[in-house]
A and B are shown apart, each in its own frame.
Chain A
Amino acid sequence: AQRVTQPEKLLSVFKGAPVELKCNYSYSGSPELFWYVQYSRQRLQLLLRHISRESIKGFTADLNKGETSFHLKKPFAQEEDSAMYYCALSSRGSTLGRLYFGRGTQLTVWP
């Protein structure tokens, strides 16, 4: 069965410090992994996806199949990064299109 685990419910760092939001998954096939972000009073939106190997707002995430992880990283956190972050997995099969989400990590960046 597919599962996404985000072990930290809350994460606080100071502005300028590196930040890493952890995400681990379990899935027997070849997954697609995503990070979604929800800023205060805004809608949930896609931040980045592993297949694109892109950097968005300074964030990167590398899929590590050996460790079944997809941690989100940023070398220098900014106050505007404060938000709820969700890791999500999409799988092949009868549930194509459906996303499995982790429980989310609330990131707070202090000035």
Chain B
Amino acid sequence: GAGVSQSPSNKVTEKGKDVELRCDPISGHTALYWYRQSLGQGLEFLIYFQGNSAPDKSGLPSDRFSAERTGGSVSTLTIQRTQQEDSAVYLCASSPRFPDRGHGYTFGSGTRLTVV
């Protein structure tokens, strides 16, 4: 596609429920990143994927968070048993090559998650 597409754009869920957030990167981009944007907390790295290599999961805040990338393209971030502190905007970015060092990051518009 023309840009990084994320869905849904907004998600309201009840505490304790599971949610899935989707990211469709730019076609041909080999690297995909997930960040979390919280009010006053800036951008927090969660996970990144490079092609078919094992992902760097070092930023995931707890084992309730997981992500996968199927076929080197679409990625799904799953949050199990959501908590109110999970409320944030979840941003996905992709880049055309790895290592990219930030030169070609293209961000999606994000998914605003609200846990009530």
- Which residues of the other chain, A, contact B98 by a CB distance below 8 angstroms? 96-97
Contact A43 B33 (CB under 8 A): no
Question: Which residues between 35 and 94 of chain B lie within 8 Å of chain A, taking CB atoms?
Answer: 35, 40-45, 48, 50, 56, 58, 91, 93
A68 contacts chain B at the CB level, 8 A cutoff: no
Contact B105 A46 (CB under 8 A): yes
Contact A104 B42 (CB under 8 A): yes
* Bound Cα distance A86, B42 (Å): 8
Question: Which residues between 69 and 106 of chain A lie within 8 Å of chain B, taking CB atoms?
Answer: 86, 88, 90, 94-104
- Which residues of the other chain, B, contact A44 by a CB distance below 8 angstroms? 43, 91, 93, 107
Of A32, A49, A97, the contact of B50 (CB 8 Å cutoff): A97
* Bound Cα distance A88, B91 (Å): 15
Question: Which residues between 49 and 65 of chain A lie within 8 Å of chain B, taking CB atoms?
Answer: 49
Question: Which size bracket describes the interface of A in this complex?
Answer: 20 to 34
B115 to chain A, nearest CB (A): 22
* Interchain Cβ contacts under 8 Å between A and B, 29 examples: A6-B42, A9-B40, A32-B102, A43-B107, A43-B110, A44-B93, A44-B107, A45-B107, A46-B102, A46-B105, A49-B102, A86-B42, A86-B43, A90-B101, A90-B102, A95-B56, A96-B99, A97-B31, A97-B33, A97-B50, A97-B95, A97-B99, A97-B100, A98-B33, A99-B43, A100-B45, A101-B42, A101-B45, A103-B40
B109 contacts chain A at the CB level, 8 A cutoff: yes
Interface residues of chain A, those whose CB is within 8 Å of chain B, are: 6, 9, 32, 34, 43-46, 49, 86, 88, 90, 94-104
B108 contacts chain A at the CB level, 8 A cutoff: yes
A43 to chain B, nearest CB (A): 5
B22 to chain A, nearest CB (A): 16
Given the known inter-chain contacts A44-B91, A45-B107, please indicate yes or no for A99 contacting B102, CB distance below 8 A. Answer: yes
B13 to chain A, nearest CB (A): 23
